[in-house]
């Protein structure tokens, strides 16, 4: 569908919607408690890549052209109220309470009533970024990270307690925004994502299902890694793509295709992430490089290397904890073709993501989704 067009900018297709994203998210995160307000909004200051909301908005626009599910009632929250405000959640706060955020000064976005992207789909884009940001707040505590997006991490800036609580606050506000969509299936999907993130993180605490001192490489170990990767990264992208299609009342074929795109893109995205941890400098990444081995994690490049380098087994078994382990593992991975094989697998998933869109009619938004799948492979940070 790209037809040799070299000038697709996925951002341009949904630029109007993206422009309001950070402002709306900051509105959702308002707290009258100054320290909480600051910690909660901290990761919204540095410009993130906003990959997830971008995908949700592109998917919303691309699926608007697909067949509808005639059994979904047209009488949805969108048709009742075409402007679900991102801020309306403050109805639970006593306005006289010192902790309430004043409602004044809120300039609502114009609601683009002519747009094919529904207000509920725009809210969904914000929710995905909130859940993602909450997971980063917690992740940096779990990983003892001191930097993120080229700045001090939240845990470094505010301490572990406030970083964890700020993450919980984000999840609370994301849940309120989710409930406001008045769509039980979408609520269930995104609530499952939150559980999946924790499940993925738990799987990651152990490199394999069993703890062995000198494990042998097996396909089970690789499948465990892929399952973990789905849970910690691809679940959010795939289920929010599915939710975007559902909110647009797309038919079941389209809903499944949206999910498949998100799943394959998410897996490609994390494989590239795990590759960059070996190939990029910390300066390029805006966060520490080579962090995975330091954390005891055996990701795809190492698993591929392990296949042909049995010596890695004992290092994996003791989580690269002995003096010189990290250095030795890095050498063995770089000497092997683990990095190339990781890139090839990521390319494979990226192709599958693109193939999932086959039934979608050609559109600028579809080209944007295809471009996202290709850009995922090229990204440097």
User: Which residues would be at the binding site for ligand FPP (CB under 6 A)?
Assistant: 131, 134-135, 138-139, 142-143, 145, 167, 171, 194, 197-198, 201, 232-233, 287
Given 78, 126, 129, 143, the residue binding Mg ion (CB under 5 A): 143
**What's the min distance (Å) between Cβ of 176 and ligand FPP?**
15
**Rounded distance between C-alpha atoms, residue 321 and residue 47, angstroms:** 35
- 233 touches which of ligand FPP, Mg ion, none (CB within 5 to 8 A by kind)? ligand FPP
| CB nearer to Mg ion: pick between 297 and 354 | 297
Which one, 277 or 367, has the nearer CB to Mg ion?
A: 277
Residue 37 touches which member of ligand FPP, Mg ion, none, C-beta under 5-8 Å by kind: none
Tokens of 234: 């691809």
In the bound complex, what is the minimum distance in angstroms from residue 73's beta carbon to ligand FPP? Answer: 31
Q: Does residue 273 touch Mg ion according to CB under 5 A? A: no
Site string for Mg ion, 85-124 (x = CB under 5 A): ----------------------------------------
Contact partner, 176, from ligand FPP, Mg ion, none, Cβ < 5-8 Å per class: none
234 binds, among Mg ion, ligand FPP, none (CB under 5 to 8 A by kind): none
Residue 117 beta carbon to Mg ion: minimum distance, rounded to whole angstroms: 32
CB of 145 to ligand FPP, least distance (A): 6
Query: Given the complex with ligand FPP, which of 88 and 201 has the nearer CB atom?
Result: 201
- Beta-carbon contacts of residue 345 (< 8 Å; ≥ 6 apart): 271, 300
Instruction: Establish if 139 lies at the interface with Mg ion (CB under 5 A).
Output: yes
d(CA 48, CA 240): 18
Residue 64 CB, shortest distance to Mg ion, in Å, is 35
Cα-to-chain-centroid distance, residue 328: 32
CB 181 within 8 A of CB 210: no
Q: How far apart are CA 318 and CA 46, in angstroms?
A: 36
Strand partners, 152: 147
Task: Give the number of other Cβ atoms within 10 Å of residue 315's Cβ.
Answer: 24
Residue 167, contacted partner among Mg ion, ligand FPP, none, CB below 5-8 A by kind: ligand FPP
Task: Report whether 270 contacts 234 (CB < 8 A).
Answer: yes
Instruction: Work out how close the CB of 233 gets to ligand FPP at its nearest, in angstroms, rounded to a whole number.
Output: 5
Cα–Cα–Cα angle for 169, 187, 42, rounded to 5 degrees:
25
Decide: helix, strand or coil at residue 167.
helix
Buried b (16+ CB within 10 A) or exposed e, 169-180: bbbebbbbbbeb
Question: Rounded to an integer, what distance in angstroms lies between the CA atom of residue 240 and that of residue 294?
Answer: 32
274: contact with Mg ion by CB under 5 A: no
Write out the residues near Mg ion by the rule CB under 5 A.
139, 143
């Amino acid at each position: 569908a790209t037809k040799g067009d070299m000038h697709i900018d996925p951002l341009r297709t949904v630029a109007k919607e993206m422009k309001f994203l950070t402002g709306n998210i900051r509105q959702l995160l308002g707290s009258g408690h100054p320290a909480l307000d600051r910690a909660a909004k901290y990761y919204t200051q540095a410009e993130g890549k906003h990959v997830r909301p971008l995908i949700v908005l592109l998917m919303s626009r691309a699926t608007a052209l697909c067949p509808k599910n005639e059994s979904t009632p047209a009488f949805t929250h969108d048709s009742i109220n075409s402007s679900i405000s991102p801020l309306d959640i403050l109805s639970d706060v006593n306005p006289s309470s010192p902790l309430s955020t004043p409602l004044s000064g809120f300039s609502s976005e114009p609601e683009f009533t002519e747009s094919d992207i529904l207000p509920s789909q725009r809210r969904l884009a914000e929710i995905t970024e909130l859940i993602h940001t909450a997971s980063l707040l917690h992740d940096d505590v779990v990983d003892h990270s001191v930097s993120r997006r080229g700045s001090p991490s939240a845990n470094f800036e505010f301490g572990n307690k406030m970083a964890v609580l700020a993450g919980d606050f984000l999840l609370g506000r994301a849940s309120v925004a989710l409930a406001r969509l008045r769509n039980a299936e979408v609520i269930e999907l995104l609530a499952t994502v939150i559980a999946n993130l924790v499940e993925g993180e738990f799987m990651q605490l152990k490199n394999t299902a069993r703890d062995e001192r000198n494990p042998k490489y097996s396909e089970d170990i690789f499948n465990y890694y892929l399952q973990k990767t789905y849970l910690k990264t691809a679940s959010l992208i795939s289920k929010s793509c599915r939710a975007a299609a559902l909110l647009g009342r797309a038919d079941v074929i389209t809903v499944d295709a949206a999910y498949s795109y998100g799943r394959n893109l998410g897996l490609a995205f994390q494989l590239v992430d795990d590759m960059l941890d070996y190939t990029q400098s910390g300066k390029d990444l805006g966060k520490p490089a080579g962090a995975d081995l330091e954390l005891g994690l055996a990701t795809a490049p190492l698993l591929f290397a392990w296949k042909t380098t049995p010596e890695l087994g004992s290092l994996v078994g003791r989580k690269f904890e002995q003096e010189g382990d990290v250095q030795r593992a890095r050498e063995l991975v770089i000497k092997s073709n683990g990095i190339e094989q990781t890139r090839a697998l990521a390319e494979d998933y990226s192709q599958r993501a693109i193939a999932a869109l086959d039934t979608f009619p050609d559109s600028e938004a579809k080209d944007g989704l295809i471009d996202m799948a290709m850009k995922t492979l090229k990204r440097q940070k």
